[in-house]
Amino acid sequence: MKKIFKYEKIQDSSLPAYIRSILSKHLTKHSAFVFESYDSFILINFQSYSLKPKGNQLKKIFIFLDNDNLLIFIENSHLYKQFTQLFNDNQKKDDIELLRLFFINLIANDMEYIDKIEESITDTEDHALQNKTNDYLDQIIKFRKQLLHLKHYYNQLQVIFDGFLENENKLFDSESLRKLTIIHNRIDHLQLSVSSLRDYVTQMREAYQSQIDIEQNHIMKVFTLITAIFLPLTLMVGWYGMNFKHMYELNSPYSYPIFILISILVCISLVIYFKKKHWF
């Protein structure tokens, strides 16, 4: 039997009884990713990554493979339609070849999708350099989350193909192993591309944080200079605010304008000094 099912049909009554029993035992013990190779069959349970941006992008796929059957249960409705058509068009091919075609089509458009992500990341960075945007950090977080899902997805596929190539139960002949190795190499290349993009996004985040730190340091520098300019004035005000009895300047009619003039000269002198030191 070579057939595609919707994921909710995983206990479908049309399946042979022994297969339903195997699937039932497996689902009772496992709910997350798993690759299990037994003497006469293989069970695979993993999450595919939908390239469509809307909705939940992580959808379950379950595969049962033995010498006589290839059963695939798909949660994603778009993928279900796509692979139902694929199986209908290739019913004359053997199970192993159909399995190979399934994975080839599963990752067929992934590199194009990753290239679009890279283009979006680059455009976001360029736009942020030209015009500062308040949502730049939100966009970085979105990219990191997207790439994390892809990394997890390709990690699963790498483990699956490692299991295929180990071929413990001898379900694959040498030619099939050769073809599966080619797909495995493609998956490795996709994983490497995703890892490179994750490093790139991390560098963008660090650069953004460094820019924020520089701006904050500049603000603190301005406040420090203002404080330094007015500190002598604060000292003078505190000094003459003590109102001691024998402070003769308090009785002079010129004390107030002289004090103002001295304050202005102190401010100008400090500004000139800071300019020469290139502190602003």
**Total domains in the fold of the chain:** 2
CA-nearest of 71, 13, 80 to 41 is 71
Q: What is the CATH number of the domain that holds 15?
A: 3.30.460
- What pLDDT does 131 receive? 66
CA-nearest of 204, 80, 208 to 147 is 204
Say if 187 falls within a structural domain.
Answer: no
- What pLDDT does 218 receive? 82
Say if 191 falls within a structural domain.
Answer: no
Say if 132 falls within a structural domain.
Answer: no
Instruction: DSSP letter for 220, please.
Output: H
Contacts for 278 with CB less than 8 Å, ≥ 6 apart: none
* CA dist., res. 183 & res. 147, Å (int): 21
Say if 158 falls within a structural domain.
Answer: no
Domain boundary among 46, 80, 106: 106
CA angle 227, 232, 233 (to 5 degrees): 90
- What pLDDT does 52 receive? 65
The position carrying tokens 């330094």 is 228
CA-nearest of 163, 225, 199, 196 to 38 is 163
- What pLDDT does 32 receive? 67
- What pLDDT does 129 receive? 65
- What pLDDT does 245 receive? 73
- What pLDDT does 55 receive? 47
Say if 147 falls within a structural domain.
Answer: no
- Mean pLDDT, consecutive 10-residue stretches, the chain (280 aa), reads 84 80 77 80 86 66 88 88 86 87 90 90 78 74 88 92 90 92 94 92 80 80 85 84 74 82 89 82
Say if 231 falls within a structural domain.
Answer: yes
Q: Label residues 131-164 b or e (16+ Cβ within 10 Å = b).
A: eeeeebeebbeebeebbeebbebbebbeebbeeb
Domain boundary among 51, 73, 106: 106
Domain holding 68, by residue range, is: 1-106
* CA dist., res. 120 & res. 115, Å (int): 9
pLDDT single digits (tens) 126-157: 777 666 666 777 888 888 888 998 999 999 99
Domain boundary among 87, 106, 125: 106
